[in-house]
Chain A
């Protein structure tokens, strides 16, 4: 570890149950010294737009965000998509809103999350022993499979297989879920014919032995 890293502060956002984005954050930020920080977003569900706004606030105070940490995979995906180095907090924080928590795609402790930043094209197959976060599309004719969850920050139009070794609790989530075929554990389903609503992330999971698709249970956090 370098000195620089030792000195670097970690700023924690307040828990999302209590916080009020507009009022509290600029105050906190203005108290900080200019420099480089790690930002722990905790249980905030932040999309690219929100992260950009956050970054702007910090930038105006002369602060550069180095690493973004979060308990929430979607926030991690957004941050990675914006080019930040990211870190997923695996241990659940005490004040984690159980309400939100139930709906989040939880990563299993000690499972490895594999990031892959590239569209999978026809004929390509990405296979991962753990959870996988893909920043890119899965094109028709391409395949992605994982022992754990398959998360796609992009469009799924090929084949995805979550829980390939039989994990029934594994999920598939994508910004646009329009697969040729979905597999979870040992179940197989053909993708839906009709196009999904644009801009609505969806997830697929096993419900009493059947693969079901629902809008991803996330309410994007909005800055007022």
Chain B
């Protein structure tokens, strides 16, 4: 077993904050850097990592058959056609929830770590069994949250649990950042969030309609090299994970168009 494989849990507590989207985009971005990367769908109840990656129709076997030893790991792994460094290990059917144990997740993770440099685990929402199974397989974690009080509260809860499980390092990704709303103080600022969570900030991801478009197409933004705001954010995060020092974006300097830039110019003149 390779010991230097980075097995990273992507979790949030709250649902719908962007875990699966982050997992898919980071998976692709890391693979594009030439790193052998596996993404593991641990959200057995609401699996949709396959969908976001556009791999749904190519699934033959899943983690379930691997655990039952009715197929080999490489038979279950779905390689991405455009990005062969990336493979998905799909979640089995939701009934897996009834019998899967932390041991099983650890077995899968250690099998994956023999062939891959990165294993990203898409964690289910909540802090119950699904979370506990997934966390038992991971070494590090990325906590995803949104600049909303309830998402931050749930993230805080999860960070406490990650600490008790001895997961380290734990880093933060703040998703769906809307510079305008922060500027008008309708949304928590980046500082508000890091002040409570006190975790190293791995990156910000801007709110971006392209995320939704790409989700529906089954082509993560990082795949086609677009330069949409969120795509840049995801690639930066992947590069930071590899130790590159890339400054964080400053939400107050991000505008969607020429009008914002003009307005900012006006503001700086006036004040």
Q: Which residues of A contact B (CB under 8 A)?
A: 118-124, 137, 139-142, 157
Contact = CB atoms under 8 A, between A and B. Distances in A.
A119 B127 CA distance: 19
Chain A: interface secondary structure? loop
Contact of B160 (A122, A140, A157): A122
17 contacts: A118-B163, A119-B198, A121-B157, A121-B160, A122-B154, A122-B160, A123-B127, A123-B157, A123-B160, A124-B160, A139-B156, A139-B196, A140-B196, A141-B153, A141-B156, A141-B157, A142-B156
A192 B216 CA distance: 46
Contacts of B163: 118, 121
A79 to B, nearest CB: 22
B245 to A, nearest CB: 27
Interface residues of B, number: 10
A137 B197 CA distance: 10
Nearest to A123: B157
Contacts of A137: 198
Contacts of A139: 156, 196
Interface of B: 127, 153-154, 156-157, 159-160, 163, 196, 198
B48 to A, nearest CB: 27
A122 B153 contact: yes
A140 B127 CA distance: 18
8 smallest CB-CB distances across A and B, nearest first, come from A121-B160, A122-B156, A122-B157, A123-B157, A121-B156, A122-B153, A141-B153, A124-B160
Most chain B beta-carbon contacts within 10 A, residue among A122, A124, A141: A122
B144 to A, nearest CB: 16
A123 B128 CA distance: 13
Contacts of A120: 160
B147 to A, nearest CB: 15
Contacts of B160: 120-124
Contacts of B159: 121
B234 to A, nearest CB: 27
A123 B154 CA distance: 9
A118 to B, nearest CB: 8
Nearest to B156: A122
A120 B196 CA distance: 11
Contacts of A142: 156
Contacts of A121: 156-157, 159-160, 163
A140 B153 contact: yes
A118 B163 CA distance: 10
A140 B159 CA distance: 13
A182 B175 CA distance: 33
Nearest to B149: A140
A159 to B, nearest CB: 13
Given A118-B163, A124-B160, 17 more contacts: A119-B198, A120-B160, A121-B156, A121-B157, A121-B159, A121-B160, A121-B163, A122-B153, A122-B154, A122-B156, A122-B157, A123-B157, A123-B160, A137-B198, A140-B196, A141-B156, A157-B196
Nearest to A120: B160
